[in-house]
Amino acid sequence: MFWPIIGRLACIVAVSFSQATAGAARAHCEDEIELALAAIGSGPAEEMKSRLISERITVFDDSLRAQAVAALPASLRSQRITQGKLLDRVEAIFNQVLRLHGRSGKLVLFLYRNDLPSAVLWRGCVVVVSDGLAEPMYDDELAGVLAHELSHSYFEDEMAEGRRAQNAFAMRVVELKCDGVAILSLKLLGRNPAGYVRGLRRLQLITKRKGLSDAVFQSHPTLVARMKFSQRYIESLK
């Protein structure tokens, strides 16, 4: 989940000048990466698709999707983008990702105006994306972000359990697994999987350039952890 996207890329390590604490934090990040890689597995991309993209997930009807959109904050709904070249571009990439996952017509894209680069899967059936995220990204990068948000559907039970138990470690592992599905999606779409990593870097630069806050979220891995995971997973794809 990218909401706000860069804040959520930040690490969970509290500020400390203790060498032992820093070492423990690094160990936790490595553990997250190893667990996520083991869960995702390796092998030919088509084989991994059959394992990762065919799990049973909740499907919403038109009425529930409409209710989900109506439940978004009014301040956000008032900024919805309903026409234009950017919407056409994002919808084309979004629909390509949906087709790959067998979800055509099952989710709603909600593009809105906001300088803050952000994206989130809302109530399981609405992918909410700001123009501050979509506009500056290249197609491969944007496809990766959209696939990451969609992939939360596959791990919603794990994430819900992590929230109930207040287990930030488990939630960070889920986020990395969503990164893995995003990277696999790019591979299967004939796009460059490395585009996902470039997208993470680009979002960091956008946030810094706009002077936006880099808030810390315990439920999300560090950018460094995401980079390490992504690079190792890309190398494992055949």
Render pLDDT for 81-128 as a digit per residue (tens, 0 to 9).
999 999 999 999 999 999 999 999 999 999 999 988 999 999 999 999
Whether 1 maps to a domain, the answer reads no
Element (H, E) at 108: strand 108-112
Residue 18 included in any domain: yes
Mean pLDDT along residues 222-231: 90
Per-residue pLDDT band at 55 (split at 50, 70, 90): low
Range of the domain at 124: 7-236
Do the domain assignments include residue 2? no
Residues 131/81, Cβ–Cβ less than 8 Å:
yes
**C-alpha closest to that of 100 among 63, 150, 31, 142:** 150
Between residues 56 and 200, the one the model is more confident about: 200
What is the spatial distance between Cα 120 and Cα 130, in angstroms, rounded to a whole number? Answer: 10
Mean per-residue pLDDT for 63-82? 96
> Is 159 a domain residue?
yes
Residue 195 lies in a domain: yes
Quick check: is 139 in a domain?
yes
d(CA 210, CA 187): 31
pLDDT of residue 71: 97
Confidence of residue 74 (pLDDT cuts 50, 70, 90): very high
**Structural domain total, the chain:** 1
Higher pLDDT, 10 or 207: 207
pLDDT at residue 133 is higher than 70? yes
Beta bridge mates, 110: 128
pTM of the model: 0.85
Please enumerate in sequence order all residues whose Cβ is within 8 A of that of 225, keeping only pairs 6 or more positions apart, or say none: 11, 29, 32, 33, 172, 176
Question: For residue 19, what pLDDT is reported?
Answer: 40
